Amino acid sequence: MAAPKRELFKAAEVCEVVQVQPYVLRSWEAEFPQIGQVPAGGGPRLYRRSDVELVLRIKQLVFDEGLTLSGARRRLEEDGGQSNGATVRVEDLLGDRVRDRLRHVKTGLQSILQLLSTEHPEGELRLVPPPDVRLVKKKTVAKSAKRK
């Protein structure tokens, strides 16, 4: 499945793609007013694909290179919009995530279908793990009878 070709994203989607908490995105919006746009009729802020790429670049500068937000702003101004090879393309990131999430959803739906199609004489439902999930046995630790 190809990455979505849409141009606008919600804040929650940007946070998921970039892997930052919403409060981080909001603080970056305060420092970088060019991130996001408020629709004319009001409503939640929307982000263009270029905004997502800018947020990814800011994350790289702050988290990977250890710059402050003002240092990141200066670096972005110095670069003048030039990107280096370390930046992540949104299409690549979204494509993998979307595929993985769809596989997860499909597995969950198959489990629900299996659960609903199985008749139980007792009238009770039981949880059934997805067919491709490997269950890992946990080691049980015997508690010592002696207390200090």
What mean pLDDT, rounded, does the chain reach? 74
Say how far apart CA 147 and CA 73 lie, in whole Å.
59
Q: Are the CB atoms for 49 and 90 separated by under 8 Å? A: yes
Place of tokens 């702050």: 62
Name 59's Cβ contacts closer than 8 Å, sequence gap at least 6. Answer: 18, 19, 20
Say how far apart CA 38 and CA 46 lie, in whole Å.
6
* Highest mean pLDDT, choosing among 59-73, 74-88, 106-120: 59-73
More confident residue, 79 or 148: 79
Say how far apart CA 33 and CA 41 lie, in whole Å.
19
What's the average model confidence in pLDDT over 87-111?
A: 72
What's the average model confidence in pLDDT over 69-91?
A: 70
What's the average model confidence in pLDDT over 36-56?
A: 85
DSSP H or E segment with residue 11: helix 11-18
pLDDT for the residue 138: 40
Task: Output the pTM of the full model.
Answer: 0.52
Nearest to 58 by CA among 109, 12, 19: 19
What's the average model confidence in pLDDT over 110-118?
A: 81
Q: Is 8 helix (H, G, I), strand (E, B) or coil?
A: strand
More confident residue, 16 or 127: 16
Taking the CA atoms of residue 79, residue 83, residue 84 and residue 87 in that order, the dihedral angle to the nearest 10 degrees is: 130
User: What domains can you pick out in the chain, each with its CATH number?
Assistant: 8-117 (1.10.1660.10)
- Position 53 pLDDT exceeds 80: yes
pLDDT for the residue 55: 92
- Position 121 pLDDT exceeds 50: yes
Which one-letter amino acid corresponds to residue 54?
L
Place of tokens 């009729």: 41
